[in-house]
Amino acid sequence: MIAAAAELPPLPVAVAHPCDETSLRGAIEAAEHRLLAPILVGPERRIAELAEACGLALGNYEIIDVPHSIAAAEKAVELVREGKAELLMKGSLHSDELLGAVTRREGGLRTGRRISHVFIMDVPTHAQTLFITDAAVNIAPDLMAKRDIIQNAIDLFAALGLGVPKVAILSAVETVNPSIPSTIEAAALCKMADRGQITGGILDGPLAFDNAISLEAARIKGIKSPVAGQAQILVVPDLEAGNMLAKNLTFLSGADAAGIVLGARVPVILTSRADNVRTRLASCAVASLLAYSRRNKEPIRA
């Protein structure tokens, strides 16, 4: 994905409050790899002093001077609304500050779709690239929120030119159990897909994690499904489960990850201070590819 995005002209991105080394370096490195053209939004003097202290060259990057993080989030969103930026990137402010500006009813970037987050993970021990959602935005999504979470992930998968995804709706077990509400929601979501309320993917659930990604586990359990053992999108019951799953894969399995927020008018690059350079570049690449796909109304082959 990084290679594919680097072949395209860099899109302007509003970087909200890049006021620590990690966020400023991430924006500049993305520009150096020709992934993005950053517009730095934050206290100009503070950004300049930080760049000098960290040995970073600001070059000709545009800096828009605002006094603090909340103002930076609001101005970054304004740049998108004015058409001066096609992407949004989180700096050193809290995620809630940026997403609050994005989701504001007046002056935000809302659409008819619920905002959600997707981790795209390359796990060394697993053949498939995994899309995990939602592990960063929706704490305890209800049924209709999960509908949007799934649709956002399917649309991203398709926009990257990866085809029709196999979507596993995860729970602790693969059978419907009234004592485990996520199994009932999984069954309902599959029926919603049958009725055209979710489109573009092949859904199955509930599935436990093992029989979602392991054909052998699915065979042992006697599960006959086009998704079991071959899942590409993993839909978690809630944020706690998703966050722990993604971080387990990152820190125990050495997975590379990209993170992106969907459902707004433009993709939002939402990285963590713990992310390495490759993760940050991958997140920028995914956002760029998605933005080009939306602009051209056709998938970008990653």
H or E stretch at 41:
strand 36-42
Between CA 231 and CA 141 the distance in angstroms is 21
Q: Give first-to-last CA distance, the chain, whole Å.
A: 5
Contacts with 213 (C-beta within 8 Å, 6 or more apart), sequence order? 126, 128, 130, 168, 229, 231, 234
Q: What is the pLDDT of residues 3-48, one digit of tens each?
A: 999 999 999 999 999 999 989 999 999 999 999 999 999 999 999 9
Q: What is the pLDDT of residues 81-132, one digit of tens each?
A: 999 999 999 999 998 999 999 999 888 999 989 999 999 999 999 998 999 9
Specify whether the CB–CB gap between 39 and 64 falls below 8 A: yes
Contacts with 146 (C-beta within 8 Å, 6 or more apart), sequence order? 169, 185, 189, 235
Q: What is the pLDDT of residues 244-301, one digit of tens each?
A: 999 999 999 999 889 999 999 999 998 876 677 788 899 999 999 999 998 877 666 5
**Percentage above 90 pLDDT, the chain:** 86
Instruction: Specify the pLDDT at position 302.
Output: 45
Side-chain-facing half-sphere of 261: CA atoms under 13 Å: 27
Between CA 284 and CA 278 the distance in angstroms is 10
Q: What is the mean pLDDT of residues 153-175?
A: 96
The 3-class SS string of 167-190 reads: EEEECCCCCCCCCCHHHHHHHHHH
Specify whether the CB–CB gap between 245 and 234 falls below 8 A: yes
Asked whether the whole model's pTM tops 0.75, one would answer yes
In terms of Cα–Cα distance, which of 68, 72, 71, 45 is closest to 58?
45
Poorest-pLDDT segment among 21-25, 149-153, 189-193: 21-25
Q: Say how many C-beta atoms besides its own lie within 10 A of residue 296's C-beta.
A: 10
Contacts with 52 (C-beta within 8 Å, 6 or more apart), sequence order? none
Q: How long, in residues, is the chain? A: 302
Contacts with 128 (C-beta within 8 Å, 6 or more apart), sequence order? 213, 230, 231, 232
Contacts with 285 (C-beta within 8 Å, 6 or more apart), sequence order? 1, 2, 4, 5, 6, 35, 258
